[in-house]
Structure 1
């Protein structure tokens, strides 16, 4: 931890003794100079929601949580200047606010290390990058990513370090039966939140700590039922999908959209959380329509079924991969998690499978992994948590075929398809557990590829190496050639 973060203030929304509280959750900002009209309008709308209708004064125990990714590229994200611009904007809220870092907040060209970048962020906002604060009966906990340059693979993976993890569990132990809401920039693996396969999943930056024990946070959710809500942004998706809210045990996982034009589906949304001693009401504020709708009401004591809890150790094989396939396909078509979901209409859902689209074919590759073939993409899933975790092949053509080879290079006797007559995959995955290599066969030889099992026992590939390191390598090479 940096010196700046050690000495920074601890934000707070009110007193624990307050019976009620209201929190607005604002997703990725990506502030852009030509969009400030939209941002100012959204801020006015949120200020109105958090104010008394008669006196116009802020409601008691009201606050704003901003989920990171402060500046767009015209504001040089991660720079000191960007932080100052974002602070000026956030200071316009009439209530206290707390911020966490997103993946773009540590890519400032002003800094050579992640620690220096994080220290600058902390100094500008006068706030530690992880925090716990009171919102009436609710304990709010924010956790931040601390890596960009030092990420092993994608620079955009959200990484919560060991220091925060230890502190987080300590807070949960102390919370006892008090309800807790957690805020991270990206969702956690196993949350059931809609993910963008051909962007975040492919690039291995979909889930918190995706490259280092991605199941650890979900284990805490199952260990500590006091965790009632978990908010995240990162995907720039609206709240109108059924799986923008997912219920797992006692916890509701909640995707939060954007308020600017950096939306993937044309919608601009924020979340409004109202809590009291009995439970909570979760709403969406539609900044385009200027309207608020209730999406979920829940008592603190309510719980939902759990398909599968993460084990403490990696299993050699999933105990029931057939059930995992059924669960994933059911999640893909279900709209029950969001009680007031409305139709998307003309807004694009492209690239957001598995939600809303069934796989063409499933493959059981053993070691707790499944593969699903979607149009253009072969995706790898963790069977235990029913979660996409990477891509094996991308840009696949419909006529491309797959073969599975054992360690001696012999092709396995795998049927070409188990699809039903309507073209939708059956729930039974094809048995490919003995495969050591997957070969993609294309009519264009240049597009034919192979993937071997990686060190984790799967087949996913690294499509996005750390771009900071690549840039530094190019700069070093250019400097060497100039000498």
Structure 2
């Protein structure tokens, strides 16, 4: 089973009075999404902030590009996706579920909604009691099968910058109370902080993806019999590098991070699936 992941895309509206911005945006996102969706996979996944402000035009335009490819696409809501409209309005446009689980022969995939609704002042994450109860049930029901969680915000104090204010799911929410109930392997994928990072804590591996504008790359997740392989793929089309400066120099609500890549150990890893003796 193969999954293809991208981090924060930040597809955005433009000001057509600024020369070259429209062409640069359209070229960048067309190329990037084509490369993302051309890759063979059982599912293609956005870890949130698919759009820059969640405006109807942003959502409709980016989904039009995505739907040109015959792919199973999942979108975990990010804070930027919910700035302009309510959660229900956004979900009506995208056709996505707010949070849900997919059970396969190889693994359980759980998609969380960690974004606050129309709260431009607080971009930190939140998970309400109803969703927490649902997630706990998913963790328990997964048994010893690998559980892969996809969310926009990291769990507090796991990946790089998740300890900073508004850099994670709010620390008052005890996510570990649920995560610690997992038997066997759990992997938590997130975006939000715009820097690559991989951290292992207990039986969980936390994999954080940087923003696509900063780091032109994807993650490939291969779920095999004895291990889960997480590998990095760089997209090297020259047009991406040529256009990206125009984008983050003009767009609002996005600040370029030149140190998004980190080191190679923050981008790739293998997770063995054999249970430790104490968990058998």
TM-score range, shorter chain: 0.7 to 0.9
Q: State how many pairs are aligned.
A: 239
Query: What TM-score do the two structures reach when normalised by structure 2?
Result: 0.77
**Residues 154 and 162, structure 2, Cα contact 8 Å, conserved in 1:** no
Does residue 205 in structure 1 map to residue 166 in structure 2? yes
| Structure with the bigger percentage of helix | 2
How far did 1:159 drift?
A: 1.2
**Residues 4 and 36, structure 2, Cα contact 8 Å, conserved in 1:** yes
**Residues 10 and 50, structure 2, Cα contact 8 Å, conserved in 1:** yes
Counterpart of 1:224 in structure 2 is 182
Does residue 253 in structure 1 map to residue 206 in structure 2? yes
Does residue 84 in structure 1 map to residue 60 in structure 2? yes
Question: What do you get for the CA RMSD once the two structures are aligned?
Answer: 2.4
Query: Which structure ranks higher in relative contact order (CA pairs < 8 Å, sequence separation ≥ 6)?
Result: 2
Uncovered stretches (5+) of structure 2, i.e. residues with no partner:
13-21, 239-263
Counterpart of 2:255 in structure 1 is none
**Residues 107 and 145, structure 2, Cα contact 8 Å, conserved in 1:** yes
Q: Check 1:258–1:89 CA distance in 2 against 1; reply closer, same or farther (3 A cut).
A: farther
* 1:415-454 to 2 correspondences below 5 Å: none
How far did 1:288 drift?
A: 2.8
Radius of gyration: which is bigger? Answer: 1
For residue 223 of structure 1, give the secondary structure of its aligned residue in structure 2. Answer: coil
For residue 27 of structure 2, give the secondary structure of its aligned residue in structure 1. Answer: helix
**Residues 7 and 209, structure 2, Cα contact 8 Å, conserved in 1:** yes
- 1-structure distance, mates of 2:170, 2:179: 15
Q: Deviations over 1:177-206 (max 9, x none)?
A: 111000110110132x11178xxx2xx211
Q: Deviations over 1:44-87 (max 9, x none)?
A: 3233431xxxxxxxx5xx11111111223xxxx12222221221
- 1-structure distance, mates of 2:137, 2:162: 33
**Residues 250 and 302, structure 1, Cα contact 8 Å, conserved in 2:** no
Query: What TM-score do the two structures reach when normalised by structure 1?
Result: 0.46
Does residue 179 in structure 1 map to residue 146 in structure 2? yes
**Residues 118 and 146, structure 1, Cα contact 8 Å, conserved in 2:** no
**Residues 139 and 179, structure 2, Cα contact 8 Å, conserved in 1:** no
Uncovered stretches (5+) of structure 1, i.e. residues with no partner:
1-20, 51-58, 112-116, 304-483
* 1:160-309 to 2 correspondences below 5 Å: 160-191=127-158, 193-195=159-161, 201=164, 204-210=165-171, 213-214=172-173, 216-237=174-195, 239=196, 244-259=197-212, 261=213, 263=214, 267-288=215-236, 295-301=268-274
Counterpart of 2:256 in structure 1 is none
Q: Deviations over 1:361-385 (max 9, x none)?
A: xxxxxxxxxxxxxxxxxxxxxxxxx
- 1-structure distance, mates of 2:210, 2:167: 15
Does residue 144 in structure 1 map to residue 113 in structure 2? yes
